[in-house]
Amino acid sequence: MVFIRTKRIKKKSGNIYTYAYIVENKWKKRAKGRKKSRQRVKAYLGRVYKLDKSSELDFLELLSIKDIDNYVNSKSKKEVIIDLVKYELLKHGFDEVGSLVSNGEIFFDLDKAEFSILEGYKRKQGIVLSLNEGFMCKETLRMLTHFYAEGTEEEIGYKLAKSFVEAGIDVPKEVFVGLFAKLFK
């Protein structure tokens, strides 16, 4: 099982920062049939930035959607997910400028579907946003856009919902149902 783990690290300056990693549990047999788990780091994701919700927006109003079925059917799965990411970032105080969504120092490129942060005069890649109950980063968005439907309908629905929660995206019910139905077409 693969999941995201955070770790707080104290720097020489005395500041404490939180970093995110993708870890995997490996189970090893011990004496008397017991099992012991070991976590193995699969990938470093980046520094975690906690964002609080600053406004309540309605997804359908934001994108001027009158017919949800028409909206979901006319767009690809990736386009719907990017719209959901944009919606979530706008709820957390970001502004939309062309193909970028930004809060002044953190940027999300809508075309590339990746985050960067402005440090000094350079844009640094590899950051993680702590939103709602999950972590939004390049990896969690990649897992959503490349979601593969396997198993029963109930298992697929559970896995899709879990992927959205892990990415920190609060999906409107109508959009989730439309996206779920799109997986079976």
What's this model's pTM, rounded to 2 decimal places?
Answer: 0.85
Give the span between the Cα atoms of 119 and 141, in whole angstroms.
23
In tens, the pLDDT along 61-85 reads: 988 989 998 999 999 988 999 999 9
Give the span between the Cα atoms of 34 and 140, in whole angstroms.
33
Q: Which of 162, 169, 166, 148 is nearest to 82 (CA)?
A: 169
Give the span between the Cα atoms of 172 and 177, in whole angstroms.
9
Tokens representing 112?
């590339």
Fill in the amino acid letter for 156.
I
pLDDT of residue 150: 85
**Secondary structure letter of residue 138 according to DSSP:** H
